[in-house]
Structure 1
Amino acid sequence: MQDAPEPDVSSLVVHAMAMPFTVHLRGIRDPSAADDAVRAFGESLREADALLSLWRPETPMSRVARGELSVDDAAPEIAEVLALAERWRQATDGAFDPRLRRRAAARLPVTYPDGAPDPTGIVKAWAVARALPLLADAGSEAWLVDAAGDVSTWGRGPWRVGIADPAVRGAPAGTHPIDVITLRQGLAALATSGGAQSTDHLWDPVTGDVARHYLQVSVAGDDLVTCDAWATAIAAGGPVTLALAAERGIAALAVVAGRSTGGYDAVSTPGWPRLRY
């Protein structure tokens, strides 16, 4: 969640993957070029959804997961995303699990076999990363993309970004963040997993049950894909994975529980760039 927009920042919204993506552009020189660039950005996201969604039975990824289409015969993006998901499974000692579990599959409108490939945990971040170069044509000095709570930035900083309250459903605008960090070159992205926006979608890779280690996990770093993968892994794997993240130099904040007096108890790795917490 971004703080209140600055006077020289224009915000444009596109919808894809059943969620809003807000592009904040700083120092626009050509509004028409900015509109075109953001429109192209949104179209790229929708193309990714048409390839990779498991909520739609006709997508290549859905057909691969059902065994109707081989990875070799599918669009090359399928193999790319599955390889990326497997890389993060290995990097997180299995906490990031790109396989569809039976209880998770039951929530989908399409029937899949237990253990089918499921790169969903990385798809949004991958799609955003693929589409970001299109914003170079916006003619702005800098931009911040708010991908339904996950953030990626470029150019002249800094950007002050709030960590949303895990108990607040819907758009967090106007609510008090539980922490505020500053994103700039070298620390340009933020991803959050869990919280009120996405409950009961994370599965403990050891027990197979819904992961309830933390109320919410946020990770800050250089790129959105890395942040998103680690946020998902820590939320699913719990303290063991948080310790692994600390060993790897990952900047993470895990919200443990609410306080009876208000606020939250949280734990963080040494690299977390706290301003408020």
Structure 2
Amino acid sequence: MTTETFRTTVQAMAMPFVVELDEPDPVEAEPAVAAFHADLVWADEVFSLWKDDSYLSAYLRGEITLDEAPHELREVLEACEWYRGVTAGGFDARRADGTLDPTGIVKGWAVARASVRLRAARASGWMIGASGDILVGGDRTRRIGIADPRVTGDPAGTPVIDVVELGGQFTALATSGGAQVVDHIWDPVTGEVARHYMQVSVAGRDLVECDAFATAIAGGGPRIVPAAFERGLEVLLVTGGRYDGAYDAKTSPGWPSVR
């Protein structure tokens, strides 16, 4: 039996968000996605470091206090501190120059928060794709390709380095690395650009946690991996390129590959 899927893409946070709804209520699908989109736009208005009028920008300039901002700003900043602890400092919301930058988890947090809006569509299952981060819901399992870190730009239609199955035990997948934005991840211990891995993918049940640990492992390197295992996460580590243009990769024992 073929599953009818409603698929669309919305723009927020300067990136595309792909939404798929399996067998949704035909009347409720578009309003549900519109509400999801509105939540993402709102999150950008709160957390953007590129918008001078965002709450985070105003807070960093000292123009408002946390009590004067939406409570979600405090929530995310506290989550950043919590993940700094559980990742043994691998995840750090402060840049090398001391600037507070919680964007390492904001995208995943915003997607997880906004995903509840999709319930109104009464779909049998759904998937959100957010530039390397994936969140799924419902009974159906989905096969998701992980982009080759050597491919820049939109990887759609290009070969993938692995295919994983999401659903059930694993409902979230986050990928971090320097393929799309070169040298944007720094090692919080050395303060230098992190080049431990070409790319890191983390699978689990909580997108925010996967997002934080993918960033933490990419930034902090191998010493962070045991902490991910303690949280029940599985990892794929692309360890570096070879002279012939290929790469080496490692996966944890429970990594949900279907290849």
2:56 pairs, out of 57, 61, 68, with 61
Partner of 1:105: none
Instruction: Name structure 2 gaps, 5 residues minimum.
Output: none
Q: Distance in 1 between matches of 2:71 and 2:227?
A: 32
Partner residue of 1:70? 65
Deviation track 1:154-180 (CA, whole Å, cap 9, x = no partner) reads 002110001110011122111111001
d(CA) in 2 for partners of 1:263 and 1:117?
Answer: 36
The correspondence of residues 1-277 of structure 1 with structure 2, limited to 5 A, is: 8-30=4-26, 32-102=27-97, 115-261=98-244, 263-276=246-259
Q: How far is 1:7 from its partner?
A: 5.8
Contact 1:89–1:97 (Cα < 8 Å) also in 2: yes
1:262: Cα distance to partner? Answer: 5.2
Structure 1 distance, partners of 2:43, 2:200, is 25
Tell me if the contact between 1:143 and 1:155 (Cα under 8 Å) persists in the aligned partners. Answer: yes
Percent of residue pairs identical: 52
Indicate conservation of the 8 Å contact 2:19/2:129, yes or no.
yes
Report the Cα offset of residue 269 of structure 1. 2.5
Q: Name the TM-score, length of structure 1 as normaliser.
A: 0.88
Answer yes or no: is the 8 Å Cα contact 1:242–1:269 preserved in 2: no
* 2:28 match: secondary structure: helix
Cα distance in 2 for partners of 1:171, 1:239 equals 28
Q: Could you say what the CA RMSD is over the residues aligned between the two structures, in angstroms?
A: 1.5
- What code does the residue aligned with 1:38 have? V
Instruction: Name the CA distance, whole Å, in 2 between partners of 1:68 and 1:39.
Output: 32
Which amino acid in 2 is paired with 1:99?
R
Contact 2:178 2:185 in 1 (8 A): no
Residue by residue over 1:210-258, the C-alpha shift from the partner in whole angstroms, topping out at 9 and shown as x without a partner, is 1111000000000211110110000000011123323443201110112
Gaps of 5+ in 1: 1-5, 103-114
Distance 1:210 1:185, change over 3 A: same
SS at match of 2:64: coil
Q: Report deviation, 1:100.
A: 2.8
- How many residue pairs were aligned? 258
Q: What CA distance in whole angstroms lies between the structure 1 residues aligned with 2:216 and 2:76?
A: 17
Find the residue that maps to 1:99 and give its secondary structure. coil
CA separation of 1:153 and 1:267: change in aligned 2, threshold 3 A: same
